[in-house]
Amino acid sequence: MADENDSKLPKRIVRTITLTAEDLSLLDGIERIISKTGQRIKTDSKLIRAAIAVAHSSLHDEAYDLMEVADKVVKEDGRTQSRLLAKMLEKG
């Protein structure tokens, strides 16, 4: 069953980026704001993916819903999917 779920996840590409202390501080601030909406985005890569989605929409004058962006980023994360699947199997 895990193989079937893995095939639905977007392809992951590892890329090294350099962030400043200010960048990390901004990421922490984004996490705090998103957490207030009820969404939990705990890793920097998830936050960066959310920021990219928002920036893309902003640059193209497209409307975006922060809750939708956060929800999509969390659902597409392979580790999050694995934990959710494990919890469902435990209950089930």
Q: How far apart are CA 7 and CA 67, in angstroms?
A: 25
Angle formed at CA 79 by CA 34 and CA 81, multiple of 5 degrees:
85
Mean pLDDT of the region 60-71: 86
User: In one letter, which amino acid is 88?
Assistant: M
Q: Count of domains in the chain?
A: 1
pTM of the predicted structure, to 2 decimals: 0.53
Cβ-contact 73, 37 below 8 angstroms: no
Mean pLDDT for 48-68 is 87
Determine the Cα–Cα distance for residues 38 and 3; give it in Å rounded to an integer. Answer: 30
Q: Which domain holds residue 54?
A: 2-91
For 11-54, what is each residue's pLDDT tens digit? 777 888 888 899 888 888 877 877 777 766 667 777 788 888 88
Structure tokens belonging to residue 68: 């939708």
